[in-house]
Structure 1
Amino acid sequence: MKKFRMKKWVKSTLAIIVVVFLVLTSVMYSFGAQMFTDVTDKHWAKKYVEDMASKKIITGYSDATFKPDKSVSRTESIVMITRLFDPKEIESVYEKNKSKYEKTLKNHGILTYANWAKEEMVFALEKDILNNEQILSAFIKDGKPQNALRWEIAVYLARGLGLEDELSKVVVLGFKDSNEIPSDAKPYIDILIKKGIINGKGDYKGNFNPKNSVTRAELAKMLSIGYELAHKDDNKDSNNNDNNNNEDKKEEVLTSIEGKIYDVITYNDNVTITILNSKGNKLVFSNDKDDIGIKWGSNNASISDLKKDMEVTLTVSGNKVYSIKIKDIEVEKEGYFYNYSFETNGGKILRFKINNKYEEYKMDDDTEITLNGKDTNFYELEKEDKVKIKLLNGNLKEVKAISKELKIKGILKEISSSKLTIEKDDEIYKFEVDDDVKVERKNKDAKISDVRIGDKVELKVKYGEVKEIEADTVKKTVEGILKEIKMAQTPEITILDEDDNLKTYKLLSGFEVEVDNKSAGLYDLRINYKVELTLESGEVIKIETDEETVKESFMGKILDIDTGDNIIELENKSDGKTLYIKYNSNTIIIDEDGDKTSEKKLDDDDIISVVGEDKLGSISADKIIIIDNN
């Protein structure tokens, strides 16, 4: 009894929710609400987009846009086409067959880059919408989804609508570019023409354009007509209207045309636009102004924004134009910052002096500003700072500024006669160096060649060019194990530091060596001595040691023994690297029982422990202990 009441309560609650949803939905549409911000009443595909969106076959983006002009990828097209089917059927087919196609989806990157589409992809494979698993190799390349072609979508949609039994064996298409259509695809295109989903006349040139991509708006239209066709038995009372609608839709084939505006004429409510295509031919299109959607980049625009020579993309059908997209116009200018001010509504205006004329632009939240290569705010800019500005469709998108005058301190990281790099507060700054730069080091006049990496410097910079350098040395000490001394015109010393990193330092002219607190020379030093180096701006001015050598231990498996050269090839257990162990008559060898033995007891695959000195390339063994004799 309790179970029955619970089921009844659930049904009642669901019924209330459904009623409320339907009421809210009807209220929303009664006020003419717009589903997507970029599909306005003027957009040619509005009814198709909203039809498919209301049926959950196509969805929008989280920012309330639909992106109607965005090309559809192969993966997206399959997802949208399979959504013509019952979601429960898709889920059921996926659960029964997912293991069957898991390897295929993984090998072709679907599970990695399009995991959201895995259910629809399995369904499409199982239902032969995709009749060959190898087709998936063209869906994603280098991690990026690939756009679907017009002929491909025609094939997928015809299969999705179950029209394969109606395909003609002999097909003659009337498009001028029929020879560019794959022969296997022609029957599918033919059946879609017969069903009123595709127009058999082609675009204004009579072409089908099989290798062009398809926009989200265009696919929405094809799916909307296809959905009506698939569900015509569910709407018998409106069959006549459906047929009439399909006849109207047959006459409306859309295509995109690129060109430059030649002329725009507005008369009453009609707009006529003339463009020049890439061949210089004039093409003329017109429509009621309320039926033309105009975009400039991602923003809505108006007829008044259309200017001669602007590059545009038109969406047309016959001689009617339905949308005009103005190509982004990017302009870069150079000049000097002048000042900024605020509008009464809080907007910010930046003024610049460019070619001896003052220009001002409004900045928005997306305007990027850098000063001396670092992100900053507009109020950090100063009068006469040098700037490069970038305008996108007349809007200020980027300001790159260089201070007129700048003083900055840091540690020198790189230097040449023309450039230098310093580090300050973990930030890197790069500057050009003036040919006549003034240099001081240790409070004495110097040349740029006297300045050392690691010096503490103060720079005086004008418009990004270093005019003065004041440098001083930075002293510090480092400790490690001596690994190599390189005798050259500029001697170098290599140590293994406390973090087990090999570091090489140059020896500054006049460097000192002390062994057990007594003056000595380089030749008194030995490999594996523990040493302390005193550095001045990264170069060694003093080496100190107490003659203490460092012994290290290594454990691993013997790979090979060369009894002629007394070398054991050992696989180091800690990192898997191969070590070369040198032994001699003074090397003590201990067996598993703790007794002394000879190298004859050693064999391949034995596990041994070695104590000795690492001499960069080989280990000089003092003692070898056999851990496991195989």
Structure 2
Amino acid sequence: MKLRHKLLSLSAALLMATTQAGAIIYSDLQGYGWASNYIYDVTNKQIIAGYPDKTFKPGNSVTRIESLVMMANLFPKADIDKIYAEKEPVYRESMIKNDIDKWARPYVIFALEKGIIPNTPEMIRALVDVKTKKPIIAMRYEVSVFLVRTLGLLNELNNSAKLDYKDTKDILTQAVPFIELLQRKGVLSKKGDGKGYFNPNKGITRAETAVMISNAYKYSPKAKGTSTVSPTTPTAPQVNTQVVEGTIQLITLADSNITISAKDSKGNTNNYTVNKNNLVVNLDGAQVNINNLKVGQTAKFTLTNGVLSKVDMTSVQERFSGKLLTLDSANKTMTLELADNKQIKAFLYNDTSKLYLNDKEVKPESLPLNNPIEVYAINNVIVKAAETQTIGNAQGEVLDFIDNLITVQTADGKKSYKINSNTKIIRNGRTLTNIYQIAIGDKANIKYNNDTAEEVSIETSREKYYGVVIKSIELNTGYNKILVGDRDGNEHSFTINSDSSIRINDKKSSVYDLKLGYEVDLYTDGGLVEELISKGEFKQATISGEIIFIDTIDKYIDITTSKGEKLRINYNNDTKTEKLSNSTSMDPRNLFKGDKISVIGVMNGGNLQATMIIADIK
């Protein structure tokens, strides 16, 4: 009974705005001197009334339904009654289902029909809490949006508007142009609450609403003495209405006119020109500024007697693929590097956005950066986003490494992983300071997250290689690579770094003193050379093959070896050339293509420097 009594009192207070207020003196305006003149103004104008006990309750919060009643009272009462009489049957079931009190239904239906709030089932459900059955409180930013729509000022919105409140970051981006417009119109103060704050997400009070409506009254239909609802008369001319669907191709603004070119489903292009002040643009059932028209948008174009009168658009959900770069929980924004063109794109998210990590719903701060992500958004506001994080291990031999990349040979082929400042590198249980302390040939276990190595762990064993021959030397920044061949014909790659000890003829030497063909003894730890010892002697090799080309001026011979490999033989005046049949000397100029030869020499840079050539010819 108490709840019913309060609701009846509340309805009475709101409905009193439609009757003559008289010389009312409120008894509870102490401390509200800043608002008292505005309160009496809206009372006298029959927009917001007090309570039967002669109180105004200025500090009470205003619900969304109450705010819609106040907005409706800025129109002639006849307009409200006419729309309710015509539309009540259409909304009856929805009003009952969503617990809208009978006294409020004329005003709610009027607000829906006039575009003060979006004409959607979701908006109607957002008026009363489904669990508590209590009306939901209106936020300050919401009432600002309602008021601009009520006053019919959408065409004056500046979509690039900026605000200077200390809490601007807390204001919903879409609401900023509405608040800025009310500043320009003198409805809202640019100073906010006196401390520089707007408090957008704070419930608005009756006193605050009275000030806003009093300041805005001069722009209202009621103040202008005009009705927004055309009276029904039997002599009204017949109206020919046509609806055409199409996709906007071009938008042109010239003086007070707007021209829209749209292509219909048959491929025909239609051009519509109309005074922009006479064009109604709706997005998802709510009236919006004509600046919301976009090329590529699909819309329904309503023609009244052949002239464009209304454009209805529906928000389209778009899909974006890319990599998550940043996430700002304070401003509720995230940026992506798009996969198709590498451009950076920003998105907003809110409390209704669904965010998933590996198919599990998570909070925004749980999404790791630099991972693949799929985003589904409407007007750059995220509906849902799904991120994939692949974590695993890879084992293999280190093939190469640089500052930010390591490549290993795994059982599944070559794999490369990014290295960054957070990558932990461990060798034989010791944490290393940089990647150059590992070695080519090391056996590595890599823990990775997508394409980035989180940990590189290496366990090595010490080995000895006697009498191997240097086949190639590769000098790099930070480390050097050496390739050696053993007596069984096997090749091995090792890393030489600043910790490697090199001795040639018992003298301390450097990698720059090594030569191809040197016979060396190696002592290694995994793929790292700990010590290299050499007498500085070249290892002789014997190779047989068939001549495929000979140049007697530059003194070289190209052969195909018995293994089918091509090899270049360099010779000089000191090179001995003999016939196999009688061991007699011969002139290399008497060798020809197709002759078979055996060469003894030292490998140097991939070629064989010959000390003796034995020709199998007669």
Check whether TM > 0.5: no
TM-score, structure 1 as length reference: 0.35
Q: Rg: which structure is higher? A: 2
Higher helix share: 1
- TM-score, normalised with respect to structure 2: 0.35
